[in-house]
Structure 1
Amino acid sequence: MTTTGAPVPRATRVRGGFQRRLLLIFGMQLVAVAVVCLMGYYNVAPAAAVLLLIVIVSSLTWLATERTWRQVSTLAQWVGNWKEGQADLDALQPDRLRQDNSDIATLARGFHNFASRIAGYNERERNFTRDASHELRSPLTVIKMSTDMLSDESELSDFGMRSVQRIRRATREMEALVEALLILAREADNGQGEQDFVVNEVLRDELDNAREMLHGHPIELQLEEPAAFALHGSPRVFAVLCWQLIRHASQYTGQGTVQITVQPGMVSVSALASEENSSAAAGQHGFEYAIAQRISERFAWPLSLHVQGGNRYVAEIRFPKPLPVTA
């Protein structure tokens, strides 16, 4: 339903003004050049004067075009200098542009709205990761301390001790999951305490933690190290990625051996699926693998999963820039 008599916004009335202005400039140039050429053809003006007039008309046309294009260039410079997360967006205010060119004002207004939304997303991301990191890790720390104190109780029954161990393992799994989700939530922070670290050393420590978390499950973890290499990155991110793949392989095999192998520039996690799990596991990647895949995409560590022999699942992480292990 249209309301009659409503004022039409200026931006709507002059939409397309940039194109019309260029058309007017070049149309006037064409008319001026045609008139000058006719003057020369009918000997109204000498040839030198005709050439001079053509040069003058062309120069005026270039100046008018450059003046019209100046706002496009200014807007392009603003966009080129803008960085994601930039809080100061005053330079992108559409009001700072001439209002007689609605096309440029529309572009500026659209980009200003886009940049404002990105800044809002970044602010909400920082608030979420800060609050989630504190509010989720604090109770987990309390649970860990409580289970440590309970495990030292000499009068605790065997059943109570087993329950404490289960709570402890579940808490550590929850810690690893929270850390993985926070890594994925920090869109603008890929650093995560980057440093040079030896992959083999991090894997040995991570397998000790994984064995504790898998305690009570018929899963054996084996580490084979035919190669050794280092990486520049976050050892904690690497450890979280490997744990997700180990947990994923443990879900597939149900019981048996999960083998972690260090090869030149690559780490593989393989498991032989049991008969009851092999049919159910086919075609299913699981939550753990989905997290691992998102981490690998974030940090440019290609991850692939394939089947060997019908029931052996092998996940491979490749590292494009491995470093030699130094003394």
Structure 2
Amino acid sequence: MSILNVPKDAVLSHGTRQPDGTWTVPAGDLTGLKLLPPADWSGTMHLTVQATSTETGSGGSATSSKPFTVTVEPVNDAPELSLTAAEHAESGAHHAEAIGIAHAQDVDSTQLGGAVITLSGAQPGDRLDLDGFTLHSENGRTMIGDTGIELVGGAGAGDAGTLTLSGHASPETYAAVLQSLVLESGDPSGLGAGTRNIGVVLIDSDGAASTRQSVDVVVDQVESAEAGNHNIGAAAYEPTQNDAGSDVILLMADESADTSHGATGSWTEQIDGDPSSTSSDPVAAFDQPTADNIQTVDDLHADASRMHWS
């Protein structure tokens, strides 16, 4: 038994494909014979079954052919989505990118029908919004620019933590809208440090939903510039309160100095003042400019308060 006109990428469940494309199927395998069409293919195949009988004694043969059709109904494939996380944001910022890169496609449709976006792990004041698209009202609906996509329920995810999009638009348009998502904070101090999660499900024009994809939005803690010690070069010092009549001497190597040799220096300190005075000198603020003398001693700098050099 032979089956003719089977498409190149189609396969029968039994039998062998011949070099000319014809499939040879043993008579015992005809029961339950199945045809597997090419991936994502639908339509009608016009095939021919051909049977040949041979006389045992004379060796004579006769062939009989009959055409038939096989119809493959289309099966809707769900859209596909991939997301890439955005770069980390810093605490105190009032908005951060929610999604770095979004890519959407649908192998059997040029139009998508909607999307559901969820925000989890949100902190008080957090909300989702769109950056780069102008929202406007059209027949009582909140539309996203000229995309043809509606922001169902109005702007912002709010306490519900969900944005619902609806409307026929290309996968590329939906991807652009997803990439415009931003995480915002209504708190005056901005976004708090921590990790939030953004989940997205795409829906095609026939209602098939993609596998849920998600990315994390990471907000890093930023230390206050005034926190910690006051820094001078690579060393750190606490603010120093002078005793009455005392001086502060600071020695530090110049950045270009070669400290591998034994550099030496000397000076004479002469202190003028009233020993009976009980007043305190001001706090030495090492991170502020000073009017005191700075003298170079070989590869070292000496910074002395009320110092006379000789």
TM range (shorter): under 0.3
Give TM-score scaled by structure 1 length. Answer: 0.20
The structure with more radius of gyration: 2
Structure with the higher fraction of residues in helix conformation: 1
Q: Highest relative contact order (Cα 8 Å, sep 6+), 1 or 2?
A: 2
Give TM-score scaled by structure 2 length. Answer: 0.21
Structure with the higher fraction of residues in strand conformation: 2
